[in-house]
Amino acid sequence: MMKIGILLFEGVEELDAIGPYEVFAWAGVKREDFVTVFTVAQTTEPLRCNKGLRVLPDYSFETAPDLDVLLIPGGSGIMKQTSNEAILAYVREQAGRCAWVTSVCTGTWLLAATGLAAGKRVTTYWGLTGELRKLDSSMKVLDDVRFVRDGNMVTSAGVSAGIDMALWLIGEWADPAFARSVQKGIEYFPAPPYTALV
């Protein structure tokens, strides 16, 4: 069974974490021996997310099992985490073991801060691609993509793009038909109400 850990921290963007969580959890319900998903933080104390939602991490760094997949969300708290040695050490350690290392939105900043994104093709929130390029000129930061894969690293654009990335990952690990069944299960068929000019 593939173990997926979603990193949490103060100021994490809610949908960056919860969108992929929903996809992975739904896949785990449909195939019980396929994946399990949980949250990991420096401690198991309650955290306040970017928009105020309070969450309780499942595991601390010390108690979490080794991961097969690490997912790093973004949010207003990410910049503080880029100098948090405990979080950087945990990301480096798990990335060395993981089959997949992923990020949503500004979660890419942690991948840059650890050196894991050096020389890689990556993306982030559309309004911050220019800022990300300044962090490490060896990264090829892509604009106007929902997500990008480079080896075992997959980075996605902002907020809802993490759902697209998670569905693609399910298709890679199982097959596209199963990923489509998860997509149908969560009724993720975006049809924004403001797509036309009026």
Which residues are annotated as catalytic? 105
Side-chain-facing half-sphere of 62: CA atoms under 13 Å: 2
Structure tokens at 108: 């890419």
| C-alpha span between 165 and 72 (Å, rounded) | 12
| Residue 157 parent element (H or E) | none
Q: At what angle do helices 14-30 and 176-185 cross, to 10 degrees?
A: 110
Q: Are 54 and 21 in contact (CB under 8 A)?
A: no
| Residue 72 parent element (H or E) | strand 69-72
Q: Are 85 and 24 in contact (CB under 8 A)?
A: no
Q: Are 47 and 57 in contact (CB under 8 A)?
A: yes
